[in-house]
Structure 1
């Protein structure tokens, strides 16, 4: 049984990194000044010339070496080693404010508005009484 080293498929690596960056082929094409079809052809190629690779790497925010050496397994290892399930920790990712404080604030605001409404009604009644006395 021979162990032949599998060559890196640089085009596929570009495609995976682009997808991880949530970027469409068209956006990458516009950024480096080529057509979307050219990006599709590049992603289908096992090798990419250094000039294009450097331009693509810059747009994707990684180094050309990172594209050449990219592997899905490494990504999964990084995620697996750095992902923290917050259900077992005391971190509260819920409210950043106290709901009772917000409730009291809204109650106070309603109280002010109600007092303003009562005052407006008193003024209206006073005006109507004045108009009735004048007749």
Structure 2
């Protein structure tokens, strides 16, 4: 069994991003100034030259890196972390699940506040010491 990762199929990534954007091959072809058959050919090829990839990325509203590193697992992860909740009035609300522990975030905030308070107290002590020094020098 090989541990070498298989190369990404750029054409397939372009196709999936185009479909997720609800864009037809014809629309992409018009946006980049080629025929629909050319777009079909690009989507069937494993590699795409950088200049053409940049034009396609711009037409799809993403960067070239997004196309190169596109992962369906990441898309499904995002979709899996969102779900619909039906309100009593019949409308649907999209709710996003937490990807962090709110209690941990609250503890982090308390720690930051404590450190800020300690720094503030230290700064005030320094001010008092400086004022006392100035007052003793004046006498």
More strand by share: 2
Q: RCO (CA 8 Å, sep 6+): is it higher in 1 or 2?
A: 1
TM-score by length of 2: 0.61
Q: 1:49 to 1:91 in 2, by over 3 A?
A: farther
Report the Cα distance in structure 2 between the residues aligned to 1:91 and 1:70, rounded to whole angstroms. 38
**What whole-Å deviation, never above 9, does each CA across 1:56-96 have from its counterpart, x for those lacking one?**
00110111000000011110001112x13314xx68553xx
5+ residue gaps, structure 2, are 92-139
Closer, same or farther: CA 93–24 of 1 in aligned 2, 3 Å: same
- Select the structure that is richer in helix: 1
1:25 is aligned to 25
Cα 1:84/1:91, change in 2 over 3 Å:
farther
User: What is the CA deviation profile of residues 84-117 of structure 1, one whole-angstrom value per residue up to 9, with x for unaligned ones?
Assistant: 3314xx68553xxxxxxxxxxxxxxxxxxxxxxx
Query: How many residue pairs end up in the alignment?
Result: 91
Instruction: Output the aligned Cα RMSD.
Output: 1.5
Question: Within the alignment, does 1:12 sit opposite 2:12 as a pair?
Answer: yes
Q: Structure 2 CA distance, aligned partners of 1:53 and 1:91?
A: 47
Segments of 4+ in structure 1 off by > 6 A?
A: none
Question: Aligned residue for 1:39?
Answer: 39
Quote the Cα distance in structure 2 between the aligned partners of 1:85 and 1:29: 35
Q: Secondary structure of 2:83's match?
A: coil
Query: Which consecutive residues of structure 1, in runs of 5 or more, have no partner in the other structure?
Result: 95-135
For normalisation by structure 1, the TM-score amounts to: 0.63
Higher radius of gyration, 1 or 2: 1
Match in the other structure for 1:86: 85
